[in-house]
Structure 1
Amino acid sequence: MEKIKVTLPDGSVREYDPGVTIEEVAYSIGKGLGRAAVAGNVDDKLVDLDTTLVNDARISIVTIDSEEGLDIYRHTTAHILAQAVKRLYKNVKLGIGPTIENGFYYDFDVEESFSPSDLEKIEKEMEKIIKEDLPIKKEMVSRDEALKLMKEKGEIYKVELIEELEDDYVSLYHQGEFIDLCRGPHLPSTGKVKAFKLLNAAGAYWRGDENNKMLQRIYGTAFQKKKQLEEHLKMLEEAKKRDHNKLGRELDLFMTEESIGQGLPLLKPKGAKVVQILQRFVEDEEEKRGYQLTKTPYMAKSDLYKISGHWDHYKEDMFILGDEEKDDEVLALRPMTCPFQFMIYNSKLRSYRDLPLRYSETSTLFRNEASGEMHGLIRVRQFTISEGHIICTPEQLEEEFRGVVNLINYMMETLGIEDDIWYRFSKWDPDNREKYIDNPTAWEESQDKMKNILDKLNIDYVEAEGEAAFYGPKLDIQFRNVHGKEDTIITVQIDFALPERFDMTYIDKDNKKKRPYVIHRTSVGCYERTLAMLIEKYAGAFPTWLAPVQVEIIPVSDDQVDYAYEVKGILKEAGIRVEVDDTNEKLGYKIRQAQMEKIPYMLIVGNREVENRTVSVRDRKEGDLGAISIKEFKEKIVREVEEKSH
């Protein structure tokens, strides 16, 4: 019998009899590799360990300690979850059960929502399934056969998925009595799972569409070792403490109200103060850097958005006021400010001497986010952004782009999050042209220009195809929230399309009309999202310059209340945000309350402080600093605020 040749990642070639399994290949290389193997990669396709090789192939062994291996491990755990739910609940119907970052989930159509006690019961059943060590086997069946099987089982969601497949054959996975539609691969048996935990349950629309039925989604995670699981669970507990959605409400920064609607948070006085401080800081800094402030309407006729292309490419994400078929004039709330500022540019003839023109605006914008996508302050339907547009000549493009990046870096350093961000170069997807303005040549040229600029700036970035704006490539500044979810906080875009659509021109040195370039940018992003990010970064303990209340003065008794208000007046004149706790509570309670509110400084004033004209300073971080003069403390905190230290 002629041997087949297997090429390994190091380039070495081994010969085997046809029909050898991936698992057998792994053990032939080494027992340790065989024990750690969970799947194989055959000619760049992931396959199960019991897959047989009949032809020459390039293979690598996927081990549990790899990213792919852990993903397979978690995917199998999701199937064990589904099997446990099917055992425990009658008439349950299966949705989908993919892996996600740091875990997995599975969607179920059940009569009632899952409670914490339900999750405990499901976990125990999962442990039984793992102890049973059920073999997991793949079966290839015809599409028609799979449809018949799932219809007989009443699995309406699986039927829907199969009906959309174009393949003649589909794969099913068996483990005991449980059968699921899945591409795989999976672990060889349920007993290979060693450590898992169900985290929570939540509602989720089938396929993420709010027009579909609400299913129940169970989230979980799994690791190779119990110690790894314990460490991850500890990290999740810490994340819960920092979660802006929880902490922001506890600190009285913002709230939501069902009668107002989803994605429409109310910033309370303390939260609004933080945003106000940020806005003033940003607007002042932009003015120093040559930006001119504009103020434009919150809505416009559909005509404007048809010129910009938003009507064709972004309409479903906009709030429309009126009916196109019935009304002469249809308005829409603005999703961004650029078309308005372009009209300001076009209001007069421009010369090359006028450029660059840098427009900025603190813009309130509106986007019709799906209800399932909204979360706290991170993703909302109305938000305020530090928006700006630079209109420049081609020769000025690189220097202006550099200036934008420098401004963003300055903002991130000042906020203390420069080490928590990374850059993403977001490009168009030429295979999905309907998403974008269709001009392949311009897309390639603008992407080349952006790449050259990024490389000259020595920016360390990752590339992401398909993440560009519909009118041009962009540089995204990325950030992860405490739960590990990645979000874009700031974008910079080079726009080749809209200057042409709006017929923007300038007169060059030779007295000829030319098209300018446009850079779309934010300097600190969306203020609501930035507030959420800062709550989580500092666990609510904002740097002194950002803290809504910077000083709490605590009189020991009623005898010192007048002095406390005198000190408050002195600090307030210096621009310090200060409050007096003159409640009839014990000193210890007042101190604990100020600590819980994460106020940077407490000033304790008793009879001695009144006599000596001093204050006893308690620092949020360093504790008791002793008694100092009012003047000395004022100078200390004013300096700290001016330096924007963190």
Structure 2
Amino acid sequence: MGKKAFWHSSSHVMAQVLLEIYPKIKLSIGPAIENGFYYDVDPNGHAISENDFPKIESRMLELARQNHNFKMRQVSKKDAIAFYKKEENPYKIELIRNLQDGDITFCNHSNFTDLCRGGHIPNTGLIKAVKILNIAGAYWRGDENSKQLTRVYGISFPKQKELKIYLQKVEEAKKYDHRRLGKEMELFTFSKKVGAGLPLWLPKGTQARERLENFLKKAQQEAGYEQVISPHIGEKGLYVTSGHYEKYGADSFQPIRTPNETEEFFLKPMNCPHHCEIYNSRPWSYRDLPKRYAEFGTVYRYEQSGELHGLTRVRGFTQDDAHIFCMPEQLEDEFTKVINLVLYVFKSLGFEDFTAQISLRDLEKKEKYIGSEENWEKAEKAILNVTKAKGLHCIIEYGEAAFYGPKLDFMVKDALERQWQLGTIQVDYNLPEQFELSYIGADNSPHRPVMIHRAPFGSMERFMALLLEHTKGKLPLWLTPNQCIIIPIGEKNKKYSKKVLKLLKKSEIRTQIDDRNETTGKKIREAEMQKFHFILVVGDKEEEAGTVSVRKHGGKDMGKMKIAEFVDLIEGNDSFRTELFLSS
């Protein structure tokens, strides 16, 4: 809350300065975000320029030093609208009209007033360091049919030293930003013609993604999961029943119309309603439970354009989703098994530094959630019992639960220490009621199952993004599409290179040849950039001896090896593969 209050307060100061420098702009919203803050403004004829960033920063610090207090005040809805009519600001008026009737809160500091719900530091004097980071386009309320606004991003700190450290981290993080690595390693791309936030997986990225999927599928199979497939769309009634339409309908993609005017479909925002219907396709006995349905299901959510960020925040993503339907007395045991699976996945891929977060209801805003008090208490108690018995150190966050149930989230930090949710496990007593799910108990009477939602990766896109940054692009040898590359020194060595390629592929080693008409040095530099684990250089001497010169990623020369020896190096030496895995 401290950082959010600090950065939200800073956004007010920035808005004040933007109005000074660009008097005709119209303010809309200015929230705190994971790292800093932004303010969306209608330029209204002004050309907001990066050249003005130093001027904005200087004036913000000047105002901050004047120690203006942040003061909240309540006004009636009528007076609030009148204030912004005078300001000729349609954005604030629309926001106010969409608020519930009653008092509206304004925040004052200096000679500046803004519509605000609160959450501020005491005064501007605490702001000692400011950096305007960049500007971007953002549609009003995320609607591409609305006017495009200008989003100004900034960050602030109570000490200049903290800003300096942050900027150093930014520069370091740029080297290993997954967007940059994805391009260099030819893993994924985006296309304006396809649409913002809709990644296209290239052949190498698809290979890595499929290997990740197979890794989890094997673990799931051993744990008793059954794979299912559900469609990418569903009738509106499905999401009305689940409650997702009421909660997220306004933020979903527009309905899909068919020639039949009575039909209304949506791109599915989640897989759980579909899995409920799979469970409901036949009757079940208590002897059949638990049922564990798993699916790598692609879902679609309309994120605002300004919030899209590489693979970490997209509009179309694939969840490694599964739903467990069990008896209440099986719940804690099943939840424990899912924790074990998530920990296995994290440990296998090097994510051992994570935060476990128990996400519970906001008890002051119970209207946000569906279901009975009794069911919520049982679900929350189950998570608390299991994590305590497991000895899993957790933090508790109120207000972060899903609308249908509490959850256990596994949070991982990126290079800029922004937290991202990867794995998640959720307890749900409510969707089984919404869909009238049942099983016949030992007493020969119908009973309601409990549902566990789980996704160890979270989504394939976000997991891959953080894995790339975590490993600095050097994916584990078993996972990477770039295991090795063969570089012939001269034209006459190409035939031998193809022979080596054939032998390595026979051993299922992922290999390619770089036979371009470029210098060997340039080819090696580009292979290093693409994070090939091994570079095999072949020239006349290697051809005569039936060997390859092996160079490990990072420049280590491993000398000449027979092809069979190199195959053994990758396939047969477990300790070497472990060393590669741990060092990646």
Common fold: TM-score over 0.5: yes
Sequence identity, in percent?
A: 40
Secondary structure at 1:530 match in 2: helix
Q: 1:609 to 1:199 in 2, by over 3 A?
A: same
Secondary structure at 1:341 match in 2: helix
| Greater displacement, 226-235 / 510-519 | 510-519
- Residues in 2 aligned to 1:103 and 1:378: alpha-carbon distance in whole angstroms: 18
Residue 333 (1) aligns with residue 267 (2): yes
Structure 1 residue corresponding to 2:463, chosen from 530, 538, 552 = 530
Contact 1:499–1:516, Cα closer than 8 Å, also in 2: yes
Aligned to 1:355: 289
Aligned residue identity for 2:51: S
Give the number of equivalent residue pairs.
Answer: 573
Aligned-residue offset at 1:576: 0.9
Aligned to 2:57: 123
Structure 2 residue corresponding to 1:595, chosen from 523, 528, 549 = 528
Aligned-residue offset at 1:595: 0.7
Structure 1 residue corresponding to 2:347, chosen from 413, 416, 425 = 413
Where structure 1 has 5 or more consecutive residues not aligned to the other structure, the ranges are 1-66
Aligned to 1:391: 325
Secondary structure at 1:229 match in 2: helix
Residue 172 (1) aligns with residue 108 (2): yes
* 1:614-629 equivalent positions in 2, closer than 5 A: 614-621=547-554, 623-629=556-562
- Larger C-alpha radius of gyration, 1 or 2? 1
CA deviations over 1:512-558 (Å, ceiling 9, x no partner): 33332222212322112211122221222212222112101112212
- Residues in 2 aligned to 1:452 and 1:142: alpha-carbon distance in whole angstroms: 43
Q: 1:590 to 1:340 in 2, by over 3 A?
A: same
Q: 1:279 to 1:148 in 2, by over 3 A?
A: closer
* 1:625-644 equivalent positions in 2, closer than 5 A: 625-638=558-571, 639=573
Aligned to 2:428: 495
Aligned-residue offset at 1:263: 2.1
Aligned residue identity for 2:523: K
Contact 1:94–1:109, Cα closer than 8 Å, also in 2: yes
- Residues in 1 aligned to 2:279 and 2:104: alpha-carbon distance in whole angstroms: 57
Q: 1:451 to 1:109 in 2, by over 3 A?
A: same
Aligned residue identity for 1:286: Q
Aligned to 2:508: 575
Secondary structure at 1:118 match in 2: helix
Aligned to 1:276: 210
- Residues in 1 aligned to 2:27 and 2:528: alpha-carbon distance in whole angstroms: 48
Aligned-residue offset at 1:411: 0.9
Structure 2 residue corresponding to 1:422, chosen from 355, 359, 362 = 355
Aligned to 2:303: 369
Q: 1:632 to 1:125 in 2, by over 3 A?
A: same
Considering Cα pairs closer than 8 Å and 6+ residues apart, tell me whether 1 or 2 has the greater RCO: 2
Aligned-residue offset at 1:394: 2.4
Could you tell me the TM-score, scaled by structure 1's length? 0.79
Contact 2:370–2:430, Cα closer than 8 Å, also in 1: yes
Q: 1:137 to 1:511 in 2, by over 3 A?
A: closer
Aligned-residue offset at 1:373: 3.4
Contact 2:25–2:46, Cα closer than 8 Å, also in 1: no
Residue 584 (1) aligns with residue 522 (2): no
Aligned to 1:343: 277
Aligned-residue offset at 1:179: 6.3
Aligned to 1:260: 194
Aligned-residue offset at 1:156: 6.2
Contact 1:316–1:368, Cα closer than 8 Å, also in 2: no
- Residues in 1 aligned to 2:395 and 2:148: alpha-carbon distance in whole angstroms: 36
Residue 226 (1) aligns with residue 172 (2): no
CA deviations over 1:487-523 (Å, ceiling 9, x no partner): 3222212221233333333333343333322222123
Aligned residue identity for 1:136: H
Aligned to 2:398: 465
Residue 545 (1) aligns with residue 478 (2): yes
Aligned residue identity for 2:550: V
Contact 2:106–2:114, Cα closer than 8 Å, also in 1: no
Secondary structure at 2:456 match in 1: strand
| Greater displacement, 585-594 / 258-267 | 258-267
Aligned residue identity for 2:480: A
* 1:14-413 equivalent positions in 2, closer than 5 A: 68=2, 78=11, 80-110=13-43, 111-126=45-60, 134=66, 136=68, 143=75, 166-167=102-103, 172-174=108-110, 194-205=128-139, 213-319=147-253, 321-322=255-256, 327-413=261-347
Secondary structure at 1:645 match in 2: helix
Q: 1:139 to 1:154 in 2, by over 3 A?
A: farther
Computed over aligned residues only, the root mean square deviation of the Cα atoms, in angstroms, reads 3.4
- Residues in 1 aligned to 2:220 and 2:245: alpha-carbon distance in whole angstroms: 31
Aligned-residue offset at 1:295: 2.4
Could you tell me the TM-score, scaled by structure 2's length? 0.86
Q: 1:636 to 1:184 in 2, by over 3 A?
A: closer
- Residues in 1 aligned to 2:70 and 2:370: alpha-carbon distance in whole angstroms: 44
Secondary structure at 1:567 match in 2: helix
Q: 1:76 to 1:323 in 2, by over 3 A?
A: closer
Aligned-residue offset at 1:140: 8.2
